[in-house]
Chain A
Amino acid sequence: AQSVTQLGSHVSVSEGALVLLRCNYSSSVPPYLFWYVQYPNQGLQLLLKYTSAATLVKGINGFEAEFKKSETSFHLTKPSAHMSDAAEYFCAVSETAAGAQKLVFGQGTRLTINP
């Protein structure tokens, strides 16, 4: 069974500082990995996804993530935090490219940006 663990339910950084949100996965087959962002009382917006094409994936809003098979990790980073980045971030894994493509989500990490 696949699973996702996000280390740190709450991360706080200063505006302009590096953002690092950690995600580790467990999968019996090569996974497909996703990062989603959720603003209060809204649905999820896709930030980026790993589909085995390239290990460093660039997404929207300046975010990127690197797939490291040896560490079973897919950490999300952004060089310089902006106030508008404050939100809840979810890492998710899917084991199939076809069929239902069910997603399994991590617990989420709330990102707070300090002025």
Chain B
Amino acid sequence: GAVVSQHPSWVICKSGTSVKIECRSLDFQATTMFWYRQFPKQSLMLMATSNEGSKATYEQGVEKDKFLINHASLTLSTLTVTSAHPEDSSFYICSARIPAGLGQYFGPGTRLTVT
């Protein structure tokens, strides 16, 4: 079946540094990918919709200059957390829209810890 991968699976960084998370669709082309944030024991919150070849669409309250999204190819979207702070520590999950179908395939998530 279709698989979405994320890299890295976990990362620890110092406050003030930037971190890039990759999301790849492994056996299909994903024109639309999504980035979610999940705090412990909470639901997923959609951060932005990433469209190949165009600017991402951010949800209300999400800082586009802090969470940079690039979707340069049909199989790769990246989320860069710039100038990370401890409050950015969270579980970040990406997904890809199922081609010609309903729903999304989800990646395994990336746990970010900012010290």
Contact = CB atoms under 8 A, between A and B. Distances in A.
A110 B43 CA distance: 11
B17 to A, nearest CB: 23
Nearest to B51: A100
Contacts of A42: 108-109
A101 B106 contact: no
Contacts of B105: 46
Q: Is the interface of B mostly helix, strand, loop or mixed?
A: strand
Interface string B48-87: 0101000001000000000000000000000000000000
B106 A36 contact: yes
Size range of the chain B interface in the assembly: 20 to 34
B104 interface: yes
Contacts of A108: 41-43
Interface in A79-96: 90, 94
Nearest to A106: B43
B106 A32 contact: no
Given A102-B49, A106-B43, A43 B32 contact: no
Nearest to A100: B49
Interface string A11-46: 000000000000000000000101010000111111
A103 interface: yes
B103 A107 contact: no
Given A41-B109, A43-B108, A102-B34, A97 B102 contact: yes
A96 B32 CA distance: 14
A51 B102 contact: yes
A102 B51 CA distance: 12
Contacts of A100: 32, 49, 51, 57, 97
13 contacts: A36-B106, A43-B107, A46-B103, A49-B103, A51-B102, A90-B44, A94-B103, A100-B32, A101-B102, A101-B103, A103-B46, A106-B43, A110-B41
